[in-house]
Structure 1
């Protein structure tokens, strides 16, 4: 029977198979040499997932790599079925001589990651319909509340979520990026950002998130799944 997993359980279940837990999904990147190899690997992954592919698997095929994302569309999170499919995909990739690399492996431009845009608002219900309309976005599966995130139905753009403000803050930017990275990548990403001229605004909620800012005060958060399960 398919069961929803906690963040920690999902992360631990796939860590040794070359996957990482990101924002309610499992993700890995598999380097390849040609477009033909990428397409062949994607086809193999669909085959081993069988009938579950359509409800769980998303694939981004590039000439140099294939990025696999697993998430139950029915539950909008990771389930035991996603873990099983991740292990199957890793096994079939290995048989073809390909190695999943969720982190900064040899030649990898960066680790796997997901980006969200966070909008601070005094009246979330009042502004949410505008962003849904102007972006052509829709409700996340199983959601649809006045303050729930909005997602790209084609999975090409970052999700939008809304952060409740208790008072106006005119001297602070109202939109920031959340960069969700593997838990074992986050310290390096924060260190790199600080070395590039950023400053640490707050680490009070780390490792759930670090609040960083550029030299002019524009903020971004590096986030992980850790520190969120209760």
Structure 2
């Protein structure tokens, strides 16, 4: 069990990004884009399924409200988030601790980085002068839905099956036809962000701005198409 678990308090509450990151860092989880994420390396699909069943059992009655997983032949991917809040709460930290302990009983580890890459989450950012006017179109054309209780005319949209990237809307003050109006935000663990930026630059990209780093770096490919590498830092 995590040391100092009693400090989380008796009642569930939404954690700051710093709190969420600090609580789960040593468990092999990472806080990314309002979720706790972890990999579990396995040797087969059946082993991944057993690990998933163990994780679900460890969360008990809280599983449906907090836990989601992807079962693959070489890994189990686990996400924890309090869905109604669309945020990480004290209960998610408690469940991460339980899941980690339960998987260790099977000889499995929760880790933040696979041989391929770190855990991450991707958003599509759409620039808009009138977000309320375009949000219904994007909701309809993608089949997406509101995120938890965030149902406002400018709130983000999410895939109800959690397969595709989230969509958020960036408020613009004036048209900017000289640049792309849609870009990707790649949210990564704070401890791998600098390396990801360096790799993108080495691959032919350019750095447009690091004025808001480590909150985000604005990068572009060789033709000026933009993408941002983002972390939770600097957002509380």
Alignment TM-score, normalising by the size of structure 2: 0.94
Given candidates 99, 103, 117, the residue that maps to 1:89 is 99
Q: Distance in 2 between matches of 1:43 and 1:20?
A: 21
Gaps of 5+ in 1: none
State the distance in 2 between where 1:3 and 1:131 align: 31
Q: Map of 1:60-79 to 2, 5 A cutoff?
A: 60-79=70-89
- 1:55-106 deviations in Å (ceiling 9; x for gaps): 0000010000000000001211001100010011111111211111202x5x
Aligned: 1:121 with 2:128: yes
Aligned pair count reads 226
Aligned to 2:185: 178
- Deviation per CA, 1:179-219, whole angstroms, max 9, x where unpaired? 00000010110000000000000000000000000000000
Q: Is 1:42 matched with 2:49?
A: no
- Is residue 148 of structure 1 aligned with residue 158 of structure 2? no
* Deviation, structure 1 residue 26: 0.3
Aligned counterpart, 2:139: 132
- Identify the residue that residue 199 of structure 1 maps to in structure 2: 206
SS at match of 1:155: coil
Distance 1:120 1:86 in 2: 35
> Structure 2: 5+ residue runs without aligned partners?
1-10
Alignment of 1:16-55 (within 5 A): 16-55=26-65
In 2, Cα distance between the equivalents of 1:198 and 1:143?
35
In structure 2, distance between residues paired with 1:52 and 1:144: 24
* Structure 2: distance between partners of 1:42 and 1:133: 32
The separation in 2 between residues aligned to 1:93 and 1:200, in whole angstroms, is: 41
1:82-133 CA deviation, whole Å, 9 max, x = no partner? 0010011111111211111202x5xx21000000000001111111111000
What's the CA shift for 1:144?
1.0
Q: Secondary structure at the match of 2:70?
A: strand
Runs of 4+ in 1 over 4 A off after TM superposition: none
Cα distance in structure 1, aligned partners of 2:203 and 2:217: 16
Q: Provide the aligned C-alpha RMSD in A.
A: 0.7
1:157-168 alignment, distance < 5 Å:
157-168=164-175
Deviation at 1:49, TM superposition (A): 0.4
1:90 is paired with a residue of what secondary structure? helix
